[in-house]
Amino acid sequence: MPSLLLVVLLVEVAVHLVNTIGATAINDMLWNIYLALPTEVSKQATEKNRLQKEYLAIRRDLNATSSQDQFAKWAKLRRQHDKQLEQLEKMKASHDASKAKFDRTAGVIRWSATSGVKFILPWIYGKEPMFWLPNGWFPYYVEWILSFPRAPLGSISIVSWQTACAAAVLLFSDSIKAILASVLGTKSAQKQPATSTTREKGPTPASSTANGKKDS
């Protein structure tokens, strides 16, 4: 097993990633991956897409056929249209149901792999010191807080370590964001002179960088 310090850090990174990307986006991504696998559900999904295409084709035909001049053809198309619509609706319902089920399962797994672990680890390793502070470097109350809640005095508790990791991850991600923003900003600024004068657009990237830094 990798060291507990590393595990806690990784969990914090994972939690942060989930929070920034967004749970729905992750679920959608997983769902698309799931659909690409050769499962029953993916077969259904391709079937549904095929049916939808057919349905649209029939619909186009139906709209192009005059009901007054070619009643027989129109009525036959109409029958097909109604039948396919009914089928499609049924398929859509079952598709939605399986997606909802998938979302639920994925949500539970995702939560227990990130937030669940985050809550459980301090509970299990609450009494274990992460590492010891050099003796006498810090006053008593600082030591007390750092060892909160159950770790022996003079050590860093897992909760403190988690908090520190979370803060570090946040700081790190914010600085990455700021760097990205400034890089993209200069890039778009470099592109712009082709279309308009440089002088007018000059100050824009600087201000956007400033904004990015302010955010962090």
Partner 1 sequence: MSAAVVSADDDIFEPTLQSILDQKTLRWIFVGGKGGVGKTTTSCSLAIQLAKVRRSVLLISTDPAHNLSDAFSQKFGKEARLVDGFTNLSAMEIDPNGSIQDLLAGQGEDTDAMGGMGGMMQDLAFAIPGIDEAMSFAEVLKQVKSLSYEVIIFDTAPTGHTLRFLQFPSVLEKALAKVSQLSNQYGPLLNGFLGSQGQLPNGQNLNEMMEKLEGLRQTISEVNAQFKDENLTTFVCVCIAEFLSLYETERMIQELGGYGIDTHCIVVNQLLFPRPESNCDQCNARRKMQKKYLDQIEELYDEFNVVRMPLLTEEVRGKERLEKFSDMLIHPYTPPE
The residues that touch partner 1, with contacts defined as CB under 8 A, are: 67-68, 70-72, 75-76, 78-79, 82
Please, which residue, 72 or 194, has the CB nearer to partner 1? 72
Q: Identify which of residues 80 and 216 has a Cβ nearer to partner 1 in the complex.
A: 80
- Considering the complex, state which of residue 16 and residue 78 has its C-beta at the smaller distance from partner 1: 78
The least CB distance from residue 51 to partner 1, in Å, is 20
Residue 155 phi, psi (nearest 5): -120, 175
Nearer to partner 1, 47 or 82 (CB): 82
Rounded to the nearest 10 degrees, what angle do helices 23-36 and 40-64 cross at? 90
Min separation Cβ 76 and partner 1, Å: 7
* Residue 82 C-beta: closest distance to partner 1, Å: 7
- C-alpha dist (Å) from residue 64 to 50, 56, 93: 21, 12, 29
Q: What's the count of helices (H) and strands (E) in the chain, helices before strands? A: 9, 0
DSSP tag of 2: -
- Shortest spacing between CB 80 and partner 1, in angstroms: 12
Give the Cα separation of 45 and 36 in Å (integer): 10
